[in-house]
Amino acid sequence: MAYDSIFKPDLFAGQTIIVTGGGSGIGRCTAHELAALGAHVLLVGRNADKLKNVALEIAEDGGKADWKTCDIREEEAVKHLVSELIRLHGPIHGLVNNAGGQFPSPLASINQKGFETVMRTNLVGGFLMAREVFNQSMSKHGGAIVNMLADMWGGMPGMGHSGASRSGMDNLTKTAAFEWGYAGVRVNAVAPGWIASSGMDTYEGAFKAVIPTLREHVPLKRIGTESEVSAAIVFLLSPAAAFVSGSTLRIDGAASLGGRAWPIHKAQNSESYNGFHRAYLPDVLKDKE
């Protein structure tokens, strides 16, 4: 089997694209789709085993992928990483700033270290990656960057640190798009809502119990797939989005719209797209479909 992308097979032939957080979840799916479309994918993350496994999967499917470990929260490490990737693989044509993480907690219980750790992972690390890719490569030949956000438009009760960092990335996306446009660099973002991804299995307690019920709060009455996020990222990296920059694309089934006063009717005619042949359902959703 192969990735069933809706895009033409050679869309990114000859291009080198970095995917941070490429060892699992949406990053893994996006890396697979980009490789299936001809890109040489460079996987970046902190867990060598996960990165290696994804690179092997891509190679088994006939694609090209290499990997490097890096803590993107460390400035000197990011500078060295980007320099090394360029030395080994040439110019960087695309960057998917996907790496991130958070933990559920009300604001009153988040200590300074926990708040700053999430901010550094979700916002500072993405900034460092984008800055170095621009300074060391894209400023010379152009390129496209896609940043990862989340559904934080109405605040993020229970994950205020993540909401603050994702909101900051939304603004950073706009600023970078304006400042770097002269060099032919486009910067956009995607904001997934509730997506059936491996990250769902990292939560415990009360938040875990809520996950299977999330679909009831989505007008399309379902949870999204990793492929639906990946397809949006691919579009924003592609020539079809050549005049799109500074935009954030919501991928949430309209869950971020409306209010509690308006009822959500019984679902009909809503089918998901899942082109990822290696996708698997998170344990927390099994027997809930």
Among the listed residues 142, 191, 156, 141, the one whose alpha carbon sits nearest the alpha carbon of residue 171? 191
Among the listed residues 219, 200, 203, 202, the one whose alpha carbon sits nearest the alpha carbon of residue 288? 200
The reported pLDDT for the residue numbered 272 is 84
- Cα–Cα distance between 273 and 198 in angstroms, integer? 17
Q: Which CATH superfamily is domain 16-254+261-269+277-285 in?
A: NAD(P)-binding Rossmann-like Domain (3.40.50.720)
Q: What share of the chain is helix, strand, coil (3-state, %, to 5)?
A: 45, 15, 40
pLDDT in tens, 112-152: 999 999 999 999 999 999 999 999 999 999 999 999 999 98
pLDDT in tens, 35-67: 999 999 999 999 999 999 999 999 999 999 999
| Residue spans of the chain under pLDDT 50 | 289
Domain positions in the chain: 16-254+261-269+277-285
The reported pLDDT for the residue numbered 159 is 86
The reported pLDDT for the residue numbered 16 is 98
pTM reported for the whole predicted model:
0.90
The reported pLDDT for the residue numbered 32 is 98
